[in-house]
Amino acid sequence: MALIFQKYGGTSVGSVERIQNVANKVAKFVDDGHQVVVTVSAMSGETNRLTAMANEMQAQPCKREMDVLLTTGEQVTIALLSMALQAKGYPAISYTGWQVPIQTDKVHSKARIEHIDGTKILDQLGQGKVVIVAGFQGMNPEGDISTLGRGGSDTTAVALAAALNADECQIYTDVDGVYTTDPRVVPQAKRLDQITYDEMLELASLGAKVLQIRSVEFASKYKVPLRVLSSLKEGGGTLITSEENFKESEMEKPLISGIAFSRDEAKLMILGVPDKPGVAYQILGPISDANIDIDMIIQNQGVDGTTDFTFTMSRLDAEAAKAVLQSTANHLGAREVLMDDEIVKISMVGVGMKSHAGIASTMFKTLADNEINIQMIGTTEIKISVVIGEEHLEVAVQTLHEAFGLDK
Amino acid sequence: MALIFQKYGGTSVGSVERIQNVANKVAKFVDDGHQVVVTVSAMSGETNRLTAMANEMQAQPCKREMDVLLTTGEQVTIALLSMALQAKGYPAISYTGWQVPIQTDKVHSKARIEHIDGTKILDQLGQGKVVIVAGFQGMNPEGDISTLGRGGSDTTAVALAAALNADECQIYTDVDGVYTTDPRVVPQAKRLDQITYDEMLELASLGAKVLQIRSVEFASKYKVPLRVLSSLKEGGGTLITSEENFKESEMEKPLISGIAFSRDEAKLMILGVPDKPGVAYQILGPISDANIDIDMIIQNQGVDGTTDFTFTMSRLDAEAAKAVLQSTANHLGAREVLMDDEIVKISMVGVGMKSHAGIASTMFKTLADNEINIQMIGTTEIKISVVIGEEHLEVAVQTLHEAFGLDK
């Protein structure tokens, strides 16, 4: 008997029939002798419906009241799922965030969980019930309803799993696991049986949007084994866990786990900046002040006492960043500001690369063989990223996928 | 400055525009220097939508989960109304039932309020805020969400008003007050400026469905001045209060306040029952055991040692009651069971009639003058009811309304 936490998102509970389907999935685990705690989101479409009404009421809806409004979404789902299970003969009980209670800080609309009291849940599990908990919501120290922000239901599930020392936390989504890359680009992409938290974090942040980053961080911090699997198809999904828990020996561990990419990139260049100490801060400070996140940074020193500075950001922020940068350029007496929003970022991710220097050279050779020019390079311990022209994306990902044997 | 409680039902908050209209009404009272606590129902249609989903899940939805589900309805409304007020520049804050808290007993779907802690509400009023409380809902001793049953939002408003010693509790509805009778039957019907709790209870229970009986009983018990008025039209509505608070002198108090009627009546007769002690119980016991409420009862002793027994009930229960009665008739050796479901009940209501014996005779004479046969008569201290054939309803109500000067 294991203690299993499951999370079903809005699409998985998007209709009466789908909630009944979820009840069937839960029932199977109960039949197998497991204790199950289920976290659910609002039915798909519900959050948009509520938000639209709020926006008609107030241009900037009060965040406290917005939390009161939106949390009704999951409250509807927990009640319906509990009924569906009971109708099938499985005792079940639902809890809202405040009933558990899931205690958060005071930041409405993106609260952080501070404490979870698992007493009620353990008591109900002990009575043989399936416990259903509303995702995304909690209660703050003032007794107000709070919400955890985007992807909050994943966070609820993982936090509950951590607090109650779960054997596994299963996140049901509309994909059946984490793939070596996007199957729409590389049809030979393979589902990974397992992956480390660190790898998942790199893959998630690079556009493989299977899991919210925050919930992976949470799982990593509290060592909660996390499994991504489909709410519609059968299959074991992908287990996300610590490196030391990997079943295979280190020898068998692949060098590269997956290739992530992001089409949503833009590059800004400021050329001919008089080179003085502090110039990087003078360029990037105003960008940061404008709440624009930047990603990769390159500085090229010229021969004439000037320097060129290049950085990337989300394509959505590019125009705003360009305006800020132009103003900085005038101020610093730089020669020119250029923007390129026809670029993409490709990243090879794998814990195995720590000990294998050859990864980068294989990557660069593969791209060169295909006459793809590398515009920028960035590395971390478990990742190598390159920026290339967006017209090369498909060929680059396909050939890299093959070169590293990910389709085997 | 007065402390005013207001309650708006589902139709009054049935759309974004109507909620904004409610915000305007509330704002006027704030502008006039009053403190306002508002109780709201779920937006019209919402409860039906949620109930339909629950019924798809479970034939007899679990009452605990049904309460979790349905209470989301008011939670949506409180948040939206709070936003609407804030958008107009009026500080506002919403509370669900459990946040107040409104503590109830454990009976899901028709809980009774046991205690209300007004501390938070008073604190927020003191800070100059409009306080908005979800109607219909509370929290039971186990920390579960409970609901107060049909008309529960009226009960919430009156109970809050009683707990916080309100100057007045205003119930906004789709009618602009309590009338001397149904204006659809008597176009000359007049709105009453004021009426006693007892009169209102008689009128409400007889089909003048302006207020839920339970909330009037509550208001009467705690002496909360209750005012019924329209959420759409302007006007002072009808004040429901204790007899001693009436502004007019006793001399001016009308004998009759109003005429109520119910079309939803049926009559069952069991004839030729051998007359023995306990026969009434033997006849009515099985009806009561079948959960059928009966209203008026008449027993006629015959000359041959048998007795005839007649009683009325809701027309909806008539067939079921007839089946029970037929079985009793066989058992007791009665001669015959007859049913008449083409009857109506008309009731004259007024605290003034306590001291005026002439009311009944005027009533009977008026009906006789119009050749209307009286089938049954029942009286209380402040009410005389008659059962007549349903074809006479309109003429009876119109001529009685005129005979007692209610159109003056």
Contacts of B143 in chain A (CB under 8 A): 99
Domain extents for chain B? 3-173, 259-403
Q: Please report which confidence band the pLDDT of residue B94 belongs to, taking 50, 70 and 90 as the band edges.
A: very high
Q: What mean pLDDT comes out for the span B323-344?
A: 94
DSSP A254-266: -S--EEEEEEEEE
* CATH T-level topology, domain A3-173: Carbamate kinase (3.40.1160)
Residue B71 touches partner A, C-beta closer than 8 Å: yes
Closest Cα of chain B to A22: distance in Å? Answer: 12
A contacts of B78 (beta carbons < 8 Å): 68
The topology under which CATH files domain B259-403 is VC0802-like (3.30.2130)
* pLDDT score for A372: 94
Model confidence at A345, pLDDT cuts 50, 70, 90, reads very high
A101, closest residue in chain B (CA to CA): B143
How high is the pLDDT of residue A205?
Answer: 64
Would you call A86 an interface residue with chain B, using a CB distance cutoff of 8 Å? yes
pLDDT of residue B283: 93
Q: Contact A12/A45 with Cβ under 8 angstroms?
A: no
Interface of B with A in 18-47 (CB under 8 A): 19-20
CB contact under 8 A, A98 and B94: no
Q: Is the pLDDT at B251 greater than 60, yes or no?
A: no
The pLDDT-based confidence of B324 (bands split at 50, 70, 90) is very high
Tell me what pLDDT residue A68 has.
98
pLDDT bracket for residue B252 (50, 70, 90):
low
CA neighbor of B363 nearest in space, from B354, B372, B355: B372
| A99–B143 CB contact, under 8 Å | yes
Q: Which pLDDT score is estimated for B56?
A: 97
For A306-325, the DSSP string reads EEEEEEEEEGGGHHHHHHHH
Task: Tell me the C-alpha distance between B305 and B312, whole Å.
Answer: 24
Neighbours of A339 (CB within 10 A): 15
Say how many CB pairs under 8 Å bridge A and B: 101
- Segment B308-314 shows an average pLDDT of 93
Name which of A53, A61, A71 is nearest B16 (Cβ-Cβ).
A53
Q: Which of B389, B404, B361 is nearest to B259 (CA)?
A: B404
Which strands sit side by side in the sheet containing B336-349, from one edge to the other?
B294-301, B306-314, B258-274, B336-349, B383-389, B376-380
What confidence tier does A407 reach under pLDDT thresholds 50, 70, 90? confident
- How do residues B167-206 score in pLDDT, each as one tens digit? 999 999 888 889 999 888 999 999 999 999 999 988 876 6
- Residue B331: how many other CB atoms lie within 10 Å: 11
Average of pLDDT values for A316-329? Answer: 94
- Per-residue pLDDT at B340 exceeds 70: yes
pLDDT of residue B255: 80
Tell me what pLDDT residue A151 has. Answer: 78
Neighbours of A55 (CB within 10 A): 13
pTM of structure: 0.83
Per-residue pLDDT tens digits for A359-380: 888 999 999 999 999 999 988 8
Asked if B92 and B85 count as a contact pair (C-beta separation under 8 A), the reply is: yes
Mean pLDDT of chain A: 91
Residue of B56, B64, B137 to mutate, interface with A, max A Cβ within 10 Å: B56
* Strand, helix or coil for residue B389: strand
Band of pLDDT at residue A206, cut at 50, 70 and 90: low
pLDDT higher than 90, residue B212: no
Quick one: pLDDT band at residue B352, thresholds 50, 70, 90? confident
pLDDT at residue B248 above 70?
Answer: no
Residue A344: pLDDT band with limits 50, 70, 90: very high
Of the partner residues B58, B75, B84, the one whose CB lies closest to the CB of residue A57: B84
- Cα separations (Å) of A46 from A42, A139, A146, B104? 6, 21, 18, 30
Mean pLDDT of B59-82: 97
Query: What is the average pLDDT across A297-306?
Result: 83
Beta-carbon count within 10 A of B305 CB: 10
Instruction: Calculate mean pLDDT across residues A315-319.
Output: 93
- Per-residue pLDDT band for A35 (boundaries 50, 70, 90) equals very high
- Looking at residue B214, what is its pLDDT? 83
Q: What was the pLDDT predicted at B253?
A: 60
Count of CB atoms within 10 A of residue A203's CB? 28
- Who among A71, A72, A80 is closest to B54 (CB)? A80
Q: For position B303, what pLDDT does the model report? A: 74
pLDDT value at residue A209:
66
**Interface predicted TM-score (ipTM) of this complex, two decimals:** 0.82
Chain A nearest-CA distance from B388, in A, is 47
Q: What is the pLDDT of residues A151-165, one digit of tens each?
A: 789 999 999 999 999
Under the banding of pLDDT at 50, 70 and 90, the label for residue A278 is: confident
Distance, CA of A250 to CA of A51 (rounded, Å): 49
CB distance from A69 to chain B under 8 Å? Answer: yes
